[in-house]
Amino acid sequence: IADSTILRQFAEHLSAIVLVDNPDASGPYESLLSDGFQGGYMAAQHVLSLGHRRLGFFLAEEDTATFRDRLHGWTCAQFDAGIVPNPTHVI
């Protein structure tokens, strides 16, 4: 969720603000939200289609929803391909 104090400071200097992966709870700003699950799923599916079977995942920010969503998609793609993901491959 976007910080309203920071948004007000930006709004003093900008005519338009569009947030990316940060919805505005107060409402006046548009936001674009990525589909982290589908992105993680498609990335893993692509690598699997190339014949790779040992996939790794770098989880840069554990507490960030989009990273968790990507990890979930990555995990599901492997299960759907009949592969049990190795938790030690998540760094």
Q: Averaged in consecutive runs of 10 residues, what is the pLDDT profile of the chain (91 residues)?
A: 80 85 78 90 97 92 86 97 95 93
In sequence order, what are the residues at sequence separation of 6 or more whose Cβ sits closer than 8 angstroms to the Cβ of residue 55? Answer: 44, 47, 48, 74, 78, 85, 89
Tokens of 42: 């498609």
Q: Residue 83: its pLDDT value, please?
A: 96
Question: Other C-beta atoms within 10 Å of 42: how many?
Answer: 14
pTM, to two decimals: 0.71
Q: Residue 1: its pLDDT value, please?
A: 65
Tokens of 74: 């990555």
